[in-house]
């Protein structure tokens, strides 16, 4: 424990009383007692305790460098030296006869110790600091004061602030006994912005303190801050442009029960922030579903960012997701933000989650469970504000059984689980999707396909589409390239549908009863043209049957259509 070093000036009865009080304080060390009367009682007491007792105040102070001087006598010669020490910032306490100071001296010394500790702190700050007593006499200036103004502490300590800066922040604070903030003034001719406040001890104003900084420094900081803020805002705006979701639930095409059920579940998931796990074969539209959930959620105005395990080497996934600190590895010359941080307030879509390595899976567990993560090479725990949507095209339960996927991560991701059906289980949606995709392809290729022949429709509906919607889009685009008119025919499709040329009208890879095929085609026609009388007429025409035959078939298949 660091002790407060004290010199006592005066060895008479008052000095002895102070001496005895201080000897009982374990945080105080008496380093000497001064009196020109060598036979004074306090001198003998000090000699007995092996403490320096001398009549040479200057020599004692120079040798011991006391923290506090306590005066109990009125020797003019010594007091002149004491005043010089006070000007240099050494606290001086008076303990005259009848004073209450003797009874509270322990408390005062503790406060002085705190002030000494405070002075150590103030000596290290970059802002200029001036402290005065309650009369305005400067008792302290820090090194930054000299650096800013060019005036040393010895030149300023002991001067009264009311004489050289009567309108400054310090003077205003002493007059008003209230804080003064953001005060534009001059200190030693330097333009500064100052903040001053009174120093209160036991409710009484004992002085005041001011901190100040040159206006030029503040303006530079403000300019740098403004530039940095602008850069950050521009970057985030650019991120939003590049990573914004575009597909909504209105862009999801299909009326089948399985698909409609998945859409309703997606809309429900958008109403909360629970993690979502999208399961389905490749090409079933998991990415579009993720975007639609984001755009229907409260986070729709924030960023939607996708990270795919298929797009990156395994060893880069952690860095891509969580970023890294400067110096984290050779070549890490600056701190880089990860996708978790860039997606703040928005949605992070983890595509093909099964491909994320074991270590990244564990970090994702902590992110989902506790909402925190660390950058690569970082020690600081960062808090995430992001909604997680993940997708998989494989059976995660099977991967867990093989030890290839973290069971806790699987449970955390399944806040809402949505399975997207393959096209072969929603054949009634195929023609709806085909017409939607053809309209897009027409625009892209400057084509004018307005009709699909019945045999072409049958080919599309019969095929199993292992690549699902993605394969349907790709096949239609390649087929339309070959067309020269406005009608898409079976001959345009056959080259791109496996086995289509070897089977009757492309029965495809799945054999089904003819009545089932009729049901699918009738439902597809009604979905497209509508169930009004006019719609049924058009549906019958497209199916190449009479309206009466259509009504008979509707009656026959009523339970299934």
Q: Which CATH class is domain 124-217?
A: alpha beta
Give pTM, 2 decimals: 0.52
Ranking 76-80, 242-246, 247-251, 337-341 by mean pLDDT, the lowest is: 242-246
Residue 113: pLDDT band (50, 70, 90) is low
Burial of 502: CB neighbours in 10 Å, binned 0-12, 13-18, 19+: exposed
Ranking 25-34, 109-118, 217-226, 389-398 by mean pLDDT, the lowest is: 109-118
Do the strands 304-308 and 190-201 form a parallel or antiparallel pair, or are they unpaired?
unpaired
How do residues 388-427 score in pLDDT, each as one tens digit? 999 999 999 999 999 999 999 999 999 999 999 999 999 9
Residue pair 453/487 in contact (Cβ under 8 Å)? The answer is yes
Cβ-based neighbour number of residue 163 at 10 Å: 10
Among 232, 242, 245, smallest CA distance to 346 is for: 245
Specify which residues 347 forms β-bridges with: 304, 387
The radius of gyration of the chain from alpha carbons, rounded to an integer in Å, stands at 43
- Helices in 165-214 by DSSP H: which ranges? 169-176
Count of residues making up the chain: 561
Among 419, 425, 519, 517, smallest CA distance to 464 is for: 425
Pick the CATH number of 424-556 from 1.10.620.20, 3.40.50.740, 1.10.8.60, 3.40.640.10: 1.10.8.60
pLDDT, residue 120, reads 63
Superfamily of domain 244-421: P-loop containing nucleotide triphosphate hydrolases (3.40.50.300)
Is the fold of 4-112 the same as that of 244-421?
Answer: yes
How do residues 527-541 score in pLDDT, each as one tens digit? 767 788 888 888 888
Report the alpha-carbon distance of residue 127 to residue 225 in Å, rounded: 18
Report the alpha-carbon distance of residue 267 to residue 422 in Å, rounded: 20
3-state secondary structure of 345: coil
What is the arithmetic mean of pLDDT over 324-342?
A: 87
How do residues 240-266 score in pLDDT, each as one tens digit? 545 567 888 988 999 999 999 999 999
pLDDT, residue 220, reads 60
- Helices in 301-429 by DSSP H: which ranges? 317-322, 339-342, 358-370, 396-401, 407-413
Domain edges within the chain: 4-112, 124-217, 244-421, 424-556
pLDDT, residue 485, reads 87
Report the alpha-carbon distance of residue 523 to residue 412 in Å, rounded: 40
Among 54, 13, 1, 2, smallest CA distance to 32 is for: 54
Distances (CA, A) of 175 to 77, 156, 169, 208: 35, 21, 10, 10
Among 69, 30, 27, 26, smallest CA distance to 50 is for: 30
Report the alpha-carbon distance of residue 21 to residue 52 in Å, rounded: 18
Residue pair 328/375 in contact (Cβ under 8 Å)? The answer is yes
**379 secondary structure, DSSP code:** -
Q: Which CATH class is domain 4-112?
A: alpha beta
* Percentage of the chain lying above the pLDDT 70 cut: 86
Handedness of CA 480, 481, 484, 490 (dihedral sign): negative
């Amino acid at each position: 424990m660091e002790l407060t070093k004290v010199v006592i000036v005066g060895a008479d009865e008052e000095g002895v009383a102070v001496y005895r009080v201080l000897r009982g304080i374990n945080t105080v060390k008496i380093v000497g007692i001064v009196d020109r009367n060598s036979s004074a009682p306090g001198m003998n007491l000090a000699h007995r305790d092996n403490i320096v007792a001398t009549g040479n105040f200057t020599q004692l102070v120079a040798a011991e460098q006391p923290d506090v001087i306590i005066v109990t006598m009125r020797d003019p010669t010594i007091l002149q030296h004491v005043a010089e020490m006070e000007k240099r910032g050494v606290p001086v306490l008076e303990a005259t006869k009848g004073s209450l100071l003797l009874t509270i001296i322990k408390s005062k010394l503790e406060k002085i110790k705190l002030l000494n500790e405070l002075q150590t702190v103030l000596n290290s700050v970059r802002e200029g600091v001036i402290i005065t007593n309650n009369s305005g006499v400067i008792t302290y200036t820090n090194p930054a004061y000299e650096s800013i103004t060019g005036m040393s502490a010895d030149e300023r300590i002991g001067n009264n602030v009311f004489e050289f800066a009567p309108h400054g922040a310090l003077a205003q604070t002493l007059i008003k006994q209230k804080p003064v903030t953001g005060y534009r003034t001059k200190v030693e001719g330097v333009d500064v912005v100052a903040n001053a406040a009174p120093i209160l001890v036991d409710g009484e104003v004992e002085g005041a303190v001011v901190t100040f900084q040159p206006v030029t420094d503040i303006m530079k900081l403000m300019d740098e801050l403004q530039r940095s803020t602008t850069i950050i805002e521009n970057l985030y705006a650019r991120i939003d442009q590049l990573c914004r979701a575009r597909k909504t639930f209105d862009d999801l095409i299909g009326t089948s029960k399985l698909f409609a059920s998945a859409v309703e579940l997606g809309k429900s998931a958008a109403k909360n922030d629970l993690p979502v796990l999208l399961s389905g074969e490749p090409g079933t539209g998991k990415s579009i579903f993720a975007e639609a959930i984001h755009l229907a959620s409260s986070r729709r105005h924030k960023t939607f960012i996708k990270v795919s395990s298929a797009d990156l080497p395994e060893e880069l996934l952690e860095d891509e997701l969580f970023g890294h600190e400067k110096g984290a590895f050779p070549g890490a010359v600056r701190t880089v933000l990860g996708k978790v941080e860039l997606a703040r307030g928005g949605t992070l879509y983890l595509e093909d989650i099964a491909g994320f390595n074991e270590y990244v899976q564990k970090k994702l567990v902590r992110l989902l469970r506790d909402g925190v993560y660390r950058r690569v090479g970082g020690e600081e725990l960062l808090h995430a504000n992001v909604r997680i949507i993940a997708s998989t095209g494989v059976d995660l339960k099977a991967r867990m059984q093989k030890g290839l996927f973290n069971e806790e991560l699987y449970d955390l991701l399944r806040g809402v689980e949505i399975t997207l059906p393959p096209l072969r289980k929603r054949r009634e949606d195929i023609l709806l999707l085909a017409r939607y995709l053809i309209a897009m392809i027409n625009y892209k290729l400057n084509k004018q396909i307005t009709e699909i022949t019945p045999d072409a429709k049958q080919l599309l509906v019969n095929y199993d589409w292992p690549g699902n919607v993605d394969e349907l889009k790709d096949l239609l685009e390649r087929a339309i390239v070959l067309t020269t008119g406005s009608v898409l025919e079976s001959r345009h499709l056959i080259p791109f549908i496996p086995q289509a040329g070897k089977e009757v009208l492309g029965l495809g890879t799945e054999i089904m009863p003819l009545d089932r095929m009729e049901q699918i085609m009738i439902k597809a026609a009604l979905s497209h043209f509508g169930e009004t009388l006019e719609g049924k007429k058009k549906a019958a025409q497209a199916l190449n049957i009479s309206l009466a035959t259509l009504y008979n078939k509707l009656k026959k298949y009523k339970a299934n259509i």
